[in-house]
A and B are shown apart, each in its own frame.
Chain A
Amino acid sequence: MSALLETRNLERSFGAVTAAVDINVSINAGEVVGVIGSNGAGKTTFINMVTGYLKPSAGEILVDGRSIVGLQPRAVVRAGVGRSFQVAQLFPELSVLDNVLVALGLSVDRKLTLLRPLHSQKRRRKALEILAEYEIAGHADEVVATLPQGVRKLLDIAMAMLSSPRLMLLDEPTSGVAIEDKFALMETVMNRVRKSNAATLFVEHDMDVVQRYADRVLAFYDGRILADGTTAKVLSDPKVQELVVGHHLDIEVDSADAYESTVVPMEVRNA
């Protein structure tokens, strides 16, 4: 069986800047993959290419074994790959409820009905249920432009999840959110993602969050994939710690890591 997502020698440059080169990634159903890498490492570029926002300069992207290179984002979404944005992409002058109602209409109902009102009791109830699942129902009547960062992020993810993606790419879901709120936000998001049975890839700078949620980690460095493996293995890799994390981490590699059974439990210090 082919992987849910597979990229082969993916490459992208902007003029003289090479934002991605030799990106070979394979993600299977049910996986939760953390993506780490310093600013400008190419994480967003990777997501942009996979979702059709950017065309790769070279390489292949396969979903269920079928190439999706050249497809528009809307076609990629319909192929089952969803994404959230580093900067939440919302309808700023509409209320939170209207954001969800429009999103429901466009991504679930699909038919651009001409004369039936968007606001019906039934749809309203459905939209409020969705907001409740993401714990932002209290903001339903607020206009997006006035929302705190965390609520925006959750709304952005909630809207993307409406099309029931089989692979969800989250670009820094916790960026701009206070440290003490990060885990609560991730908890909400990961609960929804798990419930939908989607495989997930999330970009994250906070290593505590990565350790807590990722089964596997991709470390990007300078447009390349520096390491790919179980969370413990990648985070304990000295090269990753030096080039990506920027400081040392205490990592316990426990027996639950089925990926690399030869790695002995250890504590890494490379200060």
Chain B
Amino acid sequence: MQTKSIFLLIGGALGLFVLGLLVPEWLSYLMIIAMGKGIVVLGVVLLMRAGLVSFGQGLYYCIGAYVAGTLTQFAGISDVLLILLASIAASVLVAALVGLLLCRYRGIFFAMFSMAFSMILYGLLVRSSVLGSTDGFNVLRPSLLGWVPTDDASSDLVLAVAVVMVMILGSLMWLYLRSLSGYAGEAVRENEIRVEYLGTSVFRIIYTKYLIAAALAGIGGTVTALVSGHVDPEMAYWTTSGEFVFIALMGGTSHVAAPMVGAGLFELLRTYAFAIAPYTWQMILGSTLLLIIIFLPSGLWSLVSRFSRQARG
């Protein structure tokens, strides 16, 4: 990567961080939640580009969140880096097992089975009273390399973690999508027979992507848990997974920034819809998605690419 893009990245990260510090607290909270979900959706998009719709990323989102919760609450570990590593490890481990079965299926079967696995976790959590059953439990404040922030600084630390994660993971994904592995996803979506006859295992390609998507969902779950200070089984419920697909469709799949933009707008839309119409806010969300699918079938990001094309002439 050239120096210019590195400067752009660092500049963007700083800008995002400062913005998060300046805006009112509710908006900064919303920003972090959106970044957490955006990271999850990055994985959903990765699978979509390979032709697979996962309605079960809530499984790993919830695992990442509960890892943060159990480590801070029960194990006395609060270091944010350790928590992130543990979340990634736990998500990838579960995905490595689940994926062995799941990655053999396509289309509606993949979607439904992925949902089924997340509902199994939901069922287990609801029944485990140690983990607070349906109420879940609280996540304690994180620390960083021995530094234990005060109450106020704590949310700034989470903001910084979210921004850094979005920037790092976004750039890695940007590079990944341009690599052979990235294109391999499209190749699988377009023609599995051809991929096999090129001497490559389709299963391996999909399995790898599934593991990456799981890791991303785990990280997203951790970020969300740290900012909200609470976890509950709802995070593994199928509607949560559906939300990620919703955001992916809203934002589009053509650029790594699309999930972030999609997640940001989704959270804003939901907040305002809820404030304006507390009883019918889902209807507003639904109609918005409908309009986007009809008028911008490639998602909101297609507006950006259209404008940048025009700007370049």
Q: What residues of chain A have their CB less than 8 Å away from a CB belonging to chain B?
A: 51, 53, 72-74, 77-78, 82-83, 85, 89-94, 98, 101-103, 105-107, 109-119, 159-160, 162-163
Chain B interface mostly: helix
Of the residues B200, B201, B205, B208, contact of A107 by C-beta under 8 Å: B200
User: Quick one: closest A residue to B201, CB to CB?
Assistant: A74
* 11 more CB-based (< 8 A) A-B contacts, given A78-B199, A106-B180, A118-B178: A89-B194, A91-B194, A92-B190, A103-B194, A105-B180, A106-B199, A110-B199, A112-B204, A116-B179, A118-B179, A162-B198
9 contacts between A and B (CB under 8 A): A78-B199, A85-B193, A106-B180, A107-B200, A109-B180, A113-B180, A113-B181, A114-B179, A118-B179
| Complex contact A113–B179 (CB within 8 A) | yes
Task: Provide the bound-state CA to CA distance between A73 and B196, in Å.
Answer: 6
Contact B190–A112 (Cβ < 8 Å)? no
Interface residues of B in 189-242 (CB under 8 A from A): 190-191, 193-201, 204-205, 208
Using known A-B contacts A93-B190, A119-B178, determine if residue A105 contacts B183 with beta carbons closer than 8 Å.
Answer: yes
Q: Are A91 and B196 in contact (CB under 8 A)?
A: no
* Contact surface of B with A, Cβ cutoff 8 Å: 172, 175-176, 178-184, 186-187, 190-191, 193-201, 204-205, 208
* A94 CA / B201 CA spacing, docked (Å): 20
Contact across chains for A101 and B183 when beta carbons are under 8 A apart: yes
B-chain residues with CB within 8 Å of residue A74 when the two chains form the complex = 196-201
Determine whether the beta carbon of A117 is less than 8 Å from that of B199.
Answer: no
| Chain A residues in 8 Å Cβ range of B183 | 94, 98, 101-102, 105, 118
Contacts of B191 in A (CB 8 A): 89-92
A114 and B178 CA atoms in complex are apart in Å by 9
**Nearest Cβ in chain A — how far from B297, in angstroms?**
15
- Given the contacts A115-B175, A118-B179, A118-B182, A83 and B197 also touching, CB distance less than 8 Å: yes
Which residues of A lie under 8 Å from residue B194 when comparing CB positions? 89-91, 103, 159
Q: Are B197 and A115 in contact (CB under 8 A)?
A: no
B179 pairs with A51, CB closer than 8 A: no
Does the CB pair B181–A114 fall under 8 Å? yes
- Chain A residue contacts of B179, Cβ below 8 A: 113-118
Q: Are B199 and A115 in contact (CB under 8 A)?
A: no
| A163 adjacent to B208 (CB under 8 Å) | no
Q: What are the 7 closest A-B residue pairs judged by CB atoms, nearest first?
A: A105-B180, A91-B190, A106-B198, A107-B198, A77-B199, A89-B194, A115-B175
| Alpha-carbon separation in the docked complex, A126 to B200 (Å) | 20
Q: Which residues of B contact A119 (CB under 8 A)?
A: 178
Kindly provide the distance from the CB of B275 to the nearest chain A CB, expressed in whole angstroms: 42
Chain B residues within 8 Å of A118, by CB: 178-180, 182-183
- Provide the residues of chain B in CB contact with A92, threshold 8 Å: 190-191
Question: Closest residue to A82 on the B side, CB-wise?
Answer: B197
Residue of A nearest to B204 (CB): A112
Q: Which of the listed residues A82, A103, A112, A119 has the most CB atoms from chain B within 10 Å of its own CB?
A: A112
Question: How far is B176's CA from A98's CA once the two chains are assembled, in angstroms?
Answer: 16
Q: How far is the CA of A103 from the CA of B184 in the complex (A)?
A: 9
B197 pairs with A91, CB closer than 8 A = no
B197–A51 touching, CB < 8 Å = yes
Which single member of A82, A85, A105, A112 contacts B208 (CB below 8 Å)? A112
